[in-house]
């Protein structure tokens, strides 16, 4: 089992081991106040999600072309803790926080790479659909690979 650590209380039960992606904040991602524009955090979540799947041996392009499996975002939430700025090195931790027949949830932690300071926490919810946007079950090869990365999560207080 892995401890819950800094993940919000809503993350309980099974959760995948996180995938980590690192990037450097580009000038174009900042706003007039010199901080990263809020919508860019969701773009970073997509980057983390794509890399999570790639580390499992899959990519969106093949999932769509070979299996007709698409994962549109139907809900996105982001809680901002501290601003990221131009040239900061950012670490995105991505994990699956829920997997059902037609739905997959990803959780994200966006951190300042050097210090580990938490900048934002996010979650996206996706429905599995075919090319005609009809709900379909997650193809078993993807579900099986994702389930293989999942482990029981317990609150830190339960480990003391």
Active site members = 31
Which of 145, 114, 103, 129 minimizes the C-alpha distance to 19? 145
Which H or E run contains 124? strand 118-127
Instruction: Give CA–CA dist 29/36, Å, rounded.
Output: 5
**Can you give the three-state secondary structure of 68-85, one letter per residue?**
CCECCEEEEEEEECCCCE
Extended strands (E) in the chain: 2-3, 13-16, 19-24, 73-80, 89-99, 103-112, 118-127, 150-154
Is the CB of residue 93 less than 8 Å from the CB of residue 48? yes
What are the φ/ψ torsions at residue 48 (nearest 5 degrees)?
-60, -40
């Amino acid at each position: 089992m892995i401890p819950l650590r800094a993940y919000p209380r809503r993350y309980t039960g099974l959760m995948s081991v996180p995938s980590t992606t690192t990037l450097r904040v580009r000038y174009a991602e900042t706003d007039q106040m010199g901080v990263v524009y809020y919508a860019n955090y969701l773009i970073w979540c997509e980057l983390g999600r794509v890399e999570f799947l790639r580390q499992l041996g899959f990519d969106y392009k093949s999932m769509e072309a070979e299996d007709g499996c698409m994962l549109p975002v139907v809900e996105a939430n982001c809680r901002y803790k501290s601003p990221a700025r131009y040239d900061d090195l950012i670490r995105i931790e991505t994990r699956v926080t829920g997997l059902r027949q037609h739905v997959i949830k990803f959780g994200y932690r966006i951190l300042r790479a050097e210090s580990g300071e938490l900048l934002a926490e996010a979650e996206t919810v996706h429905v599995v659909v075919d090319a005609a946007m009809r709900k379909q079950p997650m193809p078993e090869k993807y579900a099986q690979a994702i389930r293989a990365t999942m482990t029981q999560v317990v609150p830190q207080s339960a480990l003391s």
